[in-house]
Amino acid sequence: MLGIIGGTALLQARLPPLEKIRVSTPFGPVQAHVGRIVFISRHQNDTPPHRIDHRAHLAAMKILGVDRIIVIGSTGSMHDGLPPGSIVIPDDLFSPWDIPTLHDNDIFHIPPSIDAGLREELSHIVPEGRPGTYFQTRGPRFETRAEIACFARDTDVVGMTVASELTLANELGIPCAALCTVDNYANGIGGASAPDYDEIVAISRRNGERITDIITKIVEKLA
C-alpha cells in the first residue's frame, strides 16, 4: 500500500475515498486518512516543524501496512539557477542536526537511502523534476545568510522535515522517496533576504493546483 506524507493542502488533490481514523503508536496517537492509500498530514493540529512527531507518523505507516512512501516537502532554493516553481526529486540528503531514530535504547545502524526505484517512477510521473541534495535544518527559524552560503556548495534545497521522514522509513525497512516543491529562494540566494512565512504560504497556494495534479498522478500510477 502507498503512503503519502505532506501538508494538509494535499487533501485537496483528487484522491480516492479516504476515511479519517486515529492510529495508536508507541510514540503517541496519529490521525491518518486511509483507503486505497494512507495519507498523513505532517502538521497535525498546526504542529510547527521542530515539534512534529515524525516517529509516530512513520510508526503509524508501518502499523497500517504501508510498503512504500512518498513524502512531499516545501523547500527553499540554494542556487540562482533553481527558481521558485521548480520541482526537485532528491537523490541525497544532508541532516547534521537532530536526526530522529526509533532506536534510542539499542545499538542499530543502517545506511541512509532514498529508494532508487521510487525515484525513477517519480521522475517518469514528473519529468520536469530535477535531482538534488536536500539540506535539513531544525527550525523554527529560517537559516542565516552565512549558513546558506556555507552549505550551498554541496546541497540544492533546504527544508525542515523530509530528511527525518526518510531516515525513519529506512529504519522501518519501508522504501521511501521525496518530491520537493521550490517555493522561495533561501536567504541570500538570488538577491533574496530571509524568507517571509506569509509569502511562502501565498506561493504554495498559487502552486496548489499544479501540486494537486502531481499528487493525483502519483496516486494513479503508484497506488
- pLDDT of 183-219, one tens digit each? 889 988 866 556 666 666 666 666 667 888 898 899 9
Average pLDDT over residues 53-62: 97
Mean pLDDT across 117-127? 97
CB distance 141 to 147 below 8 Å? no
More confident residue, 192 or 121: 121
- Return phi, psi of residue 18, to 5°: -130, 140
pLDDT at 101: 85
- Average pLDDT of the chain is 88
Q: Could you give the CA distance from residue 171 to residue 152 in angstroms, rounded to a whole number?
A: 28
Q: What is the CATH number of the domain that holds 41?
A: 3.40.50.1580
pLDDT tens figures, 124-144: 999 999 999 999 998 788 888
pLDDT-derived band of residue 123, with 50, 70 and 90 as boundaries? very high
pLDDT at residue 94 greater than cutoff 90: yes
Q: Considering the entire predicted model, what is its pTM?
A: 0.90
3-state secondary structure of 7: coil
pLDDT at residue 109, as a whole number: 77
Task: Give the pLDDT of residue 205.
Answer: 64
The dihedral region occupied by 86, where left means phi > 0, alpha psi between -120 and 50, and beta the remainder, is beta
Structural domain count of the chain = 1
pLDDT given at position 36: 93
CB 119 within 8 A of CB 134: no
Give the tens place of pLDDT for each residue, 2-43: 999 997 557 667 778 899 999 999 999 999 999 999 999 998
Domain boundaries, position 207: 2-222
Are the C-beta atoms of 158 and 84 separated by less than 8 Å? no
545502524: which residue's cell? 109
